[in-house]
Each structure stands twice: as structure tokens, then as C-alpha cells.
């Protein structure tokens, strides 16, 4: 029996198993956060400071508000019943607008050039701290 071939085949197998396990954990985390959909509080941060907090379960009619930066930058945010999104931004790439509307915790909307972050947290659980995908 050739043990050299066995040892060589274990390395790629271990890496593959680790990657599959990591992908499964990430999928379960993101899928599990959907159970809070609509029952969230949206927190809007600018330069790391909380600017506005909105309970999405209490919104009955859509409305918008603007966040103006120190350099005159503008981010327009729309709040809908159960979701929130950035609909206009003066940043050069517009990736924050392309993220669309979010309705469950996990992945925040981030406008890096204008330093604006919108994150969701469950309304009832963890009132102060919720782990999210981005730490700032």
C-alpha cells in the first residue's frame, strides 16, 4: 500500500471540507436572519454616529429623508413598511443604491465615500448590540 498517495489526497480533501463547512455556516446565518424580516429597527449611521433609528414594523406609508455629509454629499433614504433602502447618493460608484432595499438583519447598506451605513437589528432581541456582517 502506498501511503504517500493517501497523504497527498487528504490535503485537498480537508481544504474542500473546510470550505464547504464555512459556506454552509454563512448560508445558515444569512438564511436564519430572515425570520426577523419586517420586525426590525433600522439604524442609520454617519461617520460612526447614530443619526436616525426607525422601527420598520411601525411604518405604514413610505417616506424619504436625506442625510447630508460634511462635504455636502447627499444620501436619500426611503423607508417602506418592513424595508429600507438608499435611493439616491452623490457617491461616484452608486453601489449603495444598487444594493436595493433590505428587510432583515445580516448585510447592511454601506456608502463608503459618504460614510453612511444602514443596518437592521431585531426589534425585540438584543436592543443594544447585534452581530452583523460589517464591523465599523
pLDDT digits 0-9 by tens, 37-93: 557 899 999 998 999 999 998 989 999 999 998 888 899 999 999 899 999 999 888
Residue 135, in any domain of the structure: no
Cα–Cα distance for residue pair 117/120, rounded to 1 Å: 10
Assign 110 a pLDDT band (cuts: 50, 70, 90): very high
Question: Could you tell me if 52 and 83 lie in one domain?
Answer: yes
Residue 31, in any domain of the structure: yes
Question: Could you tell me if 19 and 29 lie in one domain?
Answer: yes
Question: Could you tell me if 116 and 52 lie in one domain?
Answer: yes
pLDDT at 12 over 80: no
Question: Could you tell me if 53 and 113 lie in one domain?
Answer: yes
On the 0-12 / 13-18 / 19+ scale of CB atoms within 10 A, 119 is buried
Assign 5 a pLDDT band (cuts: 50, 70, 90): low
Residue with cell 452583523: 132
Over pLDDT 70: what percentage of the chain? 74
Rank 15-19, 62-66, 106-110, 119-123 by mean pLDDT and report only the highest.
62-66
Question: Could you tell me if 65 and 85 lie in one domain?
Answer: yes
Residue 77 domain boundaries: 37-122
DSSP code string of 57-81: GG--S-EEEEEE-TTS-EEEEEEET
Question: Could you tell me if 49 and 15 lie in one domain?
Answer: no
Would you state the cell numbers that stand for residue 45, as one nine-digit string? Answer: 449611521
Would you state the cell numbers that stand for residue 16, as one nine-digit string? Answer: 474542500
- Cβ atoms within 10 Å of 101's Cβ, excluding its own: 14
Q: For the chain, what is the mean pLDDT? A: 80
Residue 131, in any domain of the structure: no
pLDDT at 95 over 60: yes
- H-type alpha helices, the chain: 3-32, 95-98
Amino acid at each position: 500500500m502506498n501511503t504517500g498517495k493517501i497523504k497527498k489526497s487528504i490535503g485537498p480533501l480537508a481544504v474542500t471540507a473546510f470550505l464547504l463547512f464555512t459556506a454552509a455556516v454563512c448560508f445558515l446565518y444569512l438564511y436564519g436572519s430572515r425570520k426577523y424580516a419586517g420586525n426590525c429597527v433600522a439604524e442609520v449611521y454617519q461617520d460612526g454616529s447614530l443619526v436616525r433609528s426607525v422601527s420598520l414594523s411601525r411604518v405604514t406609508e413610505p417616506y424619504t429623508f436625506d442625510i447630508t455629509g460634511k462635504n455636502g454629499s447627499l444620501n436619500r433614504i426611503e423607508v417602506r413598511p418592513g424595508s429600507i433602502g438608499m435611493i439616491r447618493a452623490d457617491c461616484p460608484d452608486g453601489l449603495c443604491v444598487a444594493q436595493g432595499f433590505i428587510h432583515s438583519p445580516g448585510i447592511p447598506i454601506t456608502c463608503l465615500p459618504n460614510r453612511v451605513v444602514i443596518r437592521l437589528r431585531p426589534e425585540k432581541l438584543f436592543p443594544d448590540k447585534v452581530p452583523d456582517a460589517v464591523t465599523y
